[in-house]
Amino acid sequence: MNQMPNAEPARSASHSDAGGRPTLNVESLAAANTSNVKYQKSYTLWRILDFVLAGVFIFAGLSKMFDLDPLFAGLTHLRFGDALVHFRQLSPASPLEFANGIDNFKLVPWPVSVALAFYLPWLEIFCGLGLLFRLLYHGALALLITLMVVFTLAITAAKLRGLDITCGCFGHASQHWSFPSHLATNVAILAALLALSFSNRLRKPL
């Protein structure tokens, strides 16, 4: 997957003993080890960002398909028993609410809103899984960047047109978010995705 730079100890003709046998270049080896440690640290940080973003998008997808409010209320108040009960009672939510949310943007006709209400949550979940398991990674990342650009443009356009929208981005959790919070969240996620994309271009393609 990812190349480990300078993993092999450097050998060269200039560093040989009298018999012409090659000797280990200690300085190069030390430099290579330092480089490896740095690389591994940076790789771990990017993987953490992968996990965080994957969690965000999987949560975003699931929150549109299930009413996760009681479950999270239980978890945030450390009432794990209640959370477990709510988890067992989770049932699929009607996509009508999300379709209405998309329709409120007045950008696409109703049948397209319905299709998107069915499709977008799954797309977010699959892209999240792609980031998590590094499967079809670059494709998932490209789709997520495209989605975030479209979402950001859509909420900005809605604001400019004076529409009073409730973003269904994170299901009920984001129902009362103000426009600046929407925008700030979207821009932060988009920046993180772009950073990931840039970091991955510097490495070997998957």
Partner 1 sequence: MKFVLARQAAVVAALALLPAASEAIYFRDKISWRSAIPPSEMVTVEQTRGWGDTAIWVDARPDEEFASDHVPGAISLNEDRWNELLPQFLTVWAPGKKIIVYCSSLSCNASREVARRLRKEAQLSDVFVLEGGWEAWLKKNR
Interaction site with partner 1 (CB under 8 A): 65, 92, 94-96, 99-100, 103, 110-111, 113-115, 117-119, 121-123, 125-127, 130, 136-140, 142-143, 205
Q: Which long-range contacts (CB under 8 A, 24 or more apart) does 36-41 make?
A: 36/4, 36/5, 36/6, 36/7, 39/4, 39/5
CB of 191 to partner 1, least distance (A): 20
32 vs 144, which CB is nearer to partner 1? 144
75 vs 142, which CB is nearer to partner 1? 142
Distance (Å, rounded) from C-alpha 155 to C-alpha 99?
15
CB of 201 to partner 1, least distance (A): 9
Among 122, 131, 133, 126, which Cα is nearest to 193's?
A: 131
CB of 41 to partner 1, least distance (A): 26
28 vs 197, which CB is nearer to partner 1? 197
| Inter-CA distances, 26 with 4, 9, 196, Å | 19, 8, 34
